[in-house]
Structure 1
Amino acid sequence: MYEKARFLPAGDKSLIIEFGDSISPEINKKIRDMYLAIEKSGLDGIIEMVPTYRSILVSYNPLNIIYEDLCHKLRELEDNLNDSGSEPAKVVEIPTIYGGDYGPDIEFVAQHNDLSVNEVIEIHSSRDYLIYMLGFTPGFPYLGGMSEKIETPRLKTPRTKIPAGSVGIAGKQTGIYPIDSPGGWQLIGRTPVKLFDPFAEPPVLLNPGDYVRFVPIDEKEYKYILKQVEENKFTVNIALLDK
């Protein structure tokens, strides 16, 4: 983590706020705090912000604010982050059915790591995962904190279509496919919850800086929740991070 964030121009309408050169929970917390501080500030001219693993891309209207003035105001916000305090992160519970047709690669993950399928499920669902960033497809969460015990390489040949809601593993990461899409992650389960809905407000369920908690369910529960989701009657459980 840098002692002070670096402000770097990105074209004539954007800048990058860079907080470090590594992936870590500490840098992610700084990004989350700064993102929320900018949102609350109501700075004139800000069009959009995109948080990443170690930076925030800020797009702005140069007719409303010039680059130098924006940098000055952002530096003031950064200097006052400790005084404004941090908002507690949210933990979003994601009900997930593991194995079978829903997670066709779970047996490979188990064999690769010399574990049983039940041990893979227990390990995968035993912790809260930090959402470092969203990308690849709308609402796809890149999750950190997975146990090395279930670390597994990507597929040698990606699938051309993975069902929305599929939960996968790729190397040291785990994630969830929000929409039907190609992909090369090892599929271990699926959630009936919608992570991306273009007609909802907001359209994306998860936010960088929050956490995901996978909750194992059986097929009966999966079909019940899926029906509730289709009828717009399902609400995910959200708690505040207790740590």
Structure 2
Amino acid sequence: MDVHVKNVDAFVVYSLSEYAVTVQFDDRINADMLERIRSFNALLHRHPFDGFRTTVPAYTTLSVYFDPLDVMQASRLTGINCFERVSNFLHGLQAEWSIALAPAPDPTPIPLCYGGAFGPDLDDVARQLGIAAATVIELHSAAIYRVHLIGFTPGFAYLGGMPKQLAVPRKASPRNKVTAGSVGIAAEQTGIYPLDTPGGWQIIGRTPLRLFDTSREQPALLKAGDRVVFQAIDHELFERFSSDADADSDN
């Protein structure tokens, strides 16, 4: 397959497959980058092209998926192939991009029980950082996070915005199983495991919320661009939240 790349001033578009292109905005991961991707994604969903199917936001990119037959038959798209037609359309959206800023979403509260059996790495993280476990909890729960992307497993949220004071490396040996709902930290990110999977992040707590549930209309609780705040809870409240979640899933 030929690899196509098109410079469009504010971003670069390159071919991902016969069914997709990727828009590369920059190579820096920060809140401003996330906002650029989120606003352009919102604009594209409001003004889709013929054949548009869906998008997948990531740290510095937005992948755009389409039906190639519909794209080639679309009278308002120009170009000799799907890549050119979609790229030209995306280029044209830039004229409207400056007025496409969507309001920032309200933070989603995530109850989190820190330490103990729910956060087996909390004390070790505190030792690595040279601070008290209570300080780790205070710093972690005080921040407002942004979901940069959903990946690894369905519903796994990679969250940016963690205080730099909490940056620690991944575990030297990953666990064979990390329980669903576990919240881990690695480098300058925090993440929430939606399913029981292997994992190498430092686990500091667990939420009773179900991050991914196929019985819901939208299975993933979070999406790229969402804001998140963690609310520290005790074991008793954790069990109460868990019971409520089980009851909701049975209805």
Fold agreement, TM-score > 0.5? yes
Q: Distance in 2 between matches of 1:86 and 1:3?
A: 22
Match of 2:18 in 1: 12
TM-score, structure 2 length as denominator? 0.88
**Residues 26 and 190 of structure 1, relative CA distance in 2, 3 Å threshold:** same
1:41 aligns with 2:47: yes
SS at match of 2:37: helix
Structure-1 residue corresponding to 2:4: none
Distance 2:93 2:245 in 1: 39
Give unmatched runs, 5+ long, in structure 1: 234-243
Aligned to 1:194: 210
Residue deviations 1:162-213 (CA, integer Å, cap 9, x gap): 1000011112211110110000111100000011112211111111112110
Report how many aligned residue pairs link the two structures. Answer: 232
Alignment-derived partner of residue 50 in structure 1: 56
AA partner of residue 153 (structure 1): P
Aligned-partner Cα distance in 2 for 1:58–1:85 = 19
Distance 1:171 1:84, change over 3 A: closer
What are the Cα deviations for residues 27-65 of structure 1, in whole angstroms up to 9, with x where unaligned? 111110111111111322112211110011111111111
SS in 1 for 2:28: coil
Match of 2:88 in 1: 72
Matched, 1:167 2:183: yes
State the 1:132 CA deviation.
0.8
Relative contact order (alpha carbons < 8 A, sep ≥ 6): 1 or 2 greater? 1
In 2, Cα distance between the equivalents of 1:71 and 1:228? 47
Matching residue of 2:127: 111
Question: What is the SS of the residue equivalent to 2:93?
Answer: helix
Does residue 151 in structure 1 map to residue 167 in structure 2?
Answer: yes
Deviations 1:78-125 (A, max 9, x none): 321112332322311000000000001100011111111111100100
Structure 2 distance, partners of 1:63, 1:200, is 32
Q: Report the alpha carbon displacement of residue 72 of structure 1 after superposing the two structures with TM.
A: 2.0
Task: Tell me what 1:142 maps to.
Answer: 158
> What is the aligned partner in structure 1 of residue 111 from structure 2?
95
2:205 is aligned with what amino acid?
G
Among candidates 136, 139, 144, match of residue 128 of structure 1: 144
Which of structures 1 and 2 has the bigger CA Rg? 2
Deviates more, 1:41-50 or 1:177-186: 41-50
Q: Tell me the equivalent position of 2:74.
A: none
Whether 1:228 aligns to 2:228 is no
Shift, 1:67, TM fit: 2.8
1:31 aligns to 2:37 (yes or no): yes
C-alpha displacement at 1:145, in angstroms?
1.4
Distance in 2, matches of 1:125 and 1:117, equals: 12
Q: Quick one: percent identity of the two aligned structures?
A: 37
Paired residue for 1:236? none
CA distance in 1, matches of 2:101, 2:183: 34
Distance 2:61 2:197 in 1: 27
